[in-house]
């Protein structure tokens, strides 16, 4: 909760990847708040018991949302899907505006990588979703200590640079530092 709140304010892309990780962690704990409390919440460093209670309630609400939205085994919470929707909308806005040529150039630079990912993924995913799915997949492979091919690492490097630019411009736009309106 505390990390998520900080990331959401500072870097929306890191926030989204973090929240996907939280979803998977909750699945690993079989959406069992008591087990999560025993293993994670009780061990979390907090300033006081009110913070611990807030953390508990945050996880409990995520678990409830996962059940209500039927994403106990796979998929993402609507609140995380909404972040993707916001990022896709922003991506389209920034491309159409032409106000940030470096963003457009970077996107068109990574587009062949994205199109390559498209051939290996679900039909109907946006360019932004493909980037996040790829980055998250590589993160999971690294956690499992799976060897990653050099060309896959190169793709990750290029897509990561693009996502950093997406996050930076999104933050500037949200803060009123980037005007994209005609």
Tens digits of residue pLDDT in 134-171 = 999 999 999 999 999 999 999 999 999 999 999 999 99
Q: Where are the domains of the chain?
A: 2-68, 81-174
Q: Mean pLDDT across the chain, nearest whole number?
A: 95
What percent of the chain is modeled with pLDDT above 70? Answer: 99
Tokens of 39: 């293993």
What pLDDT shows up at residue 155? 95
Helices assigned H by DSSP within 32-149? 33-36, 49-68, 78-97, 101-118, 127-143
- Say if residue 182's pLDDT is above 80: no
What pLDDT shows up at residue 123? 81
Tokens of 128: 């932004």
What's the pLDDT tens digit per position in 95-129? 999 999 999 999 999 999 999 999 988 788 999 99
179-182: long-range contacts, CB 8 A cutoff, minimum separation 24? 179/99, 180/93, 180/94, 180/97, 180/99, 180/100, 181/97, 182/97
Tokens of 125: 């995913």
What pLDDT shows up at residue 2? 82
Residue 47 — very low, low, confident or very high, per pLDDT cuts 50/70/90? Answer: confident
């Amino acid at each position: 909760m505390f990390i998520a709140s900080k990331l959401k304010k500072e870097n929306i892309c890191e926030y989204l990847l973090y929240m996907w990780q939280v979803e998977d962690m909750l699945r690993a704990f079989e959406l069992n708040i008591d087990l999560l409390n025993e293993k994670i919440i009780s061990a979390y460093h907090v300033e006081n018991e009110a913070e611990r209670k807030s953390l508990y309630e945050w996880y409990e609400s995520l678990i409830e949302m996962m059940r209500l939205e039927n994403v106990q085994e796979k998929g993402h919470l609507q609140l995380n899907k909404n972040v993707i929707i916001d990022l896709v909308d922003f991506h389209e806005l920034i491309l159409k505006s032409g106000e940030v040529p470096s963003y457009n150039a970077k996107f068109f630079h990574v587009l062949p990588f994205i199109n390559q990912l498209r051939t290996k993924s679900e039909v109907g995913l946006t360019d932004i979703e493909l980037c996040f799915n790829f980055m998250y997949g590589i993160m999971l492979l690294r956690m499992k200590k799976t060897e990653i091919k050099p060309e896959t690492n190169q793709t990750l490097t290029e897509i990561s640079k693009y996502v950093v630019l997406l996050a930076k411009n999104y933050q500037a736009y949200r803060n009123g530092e980037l005007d994209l309106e005609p």
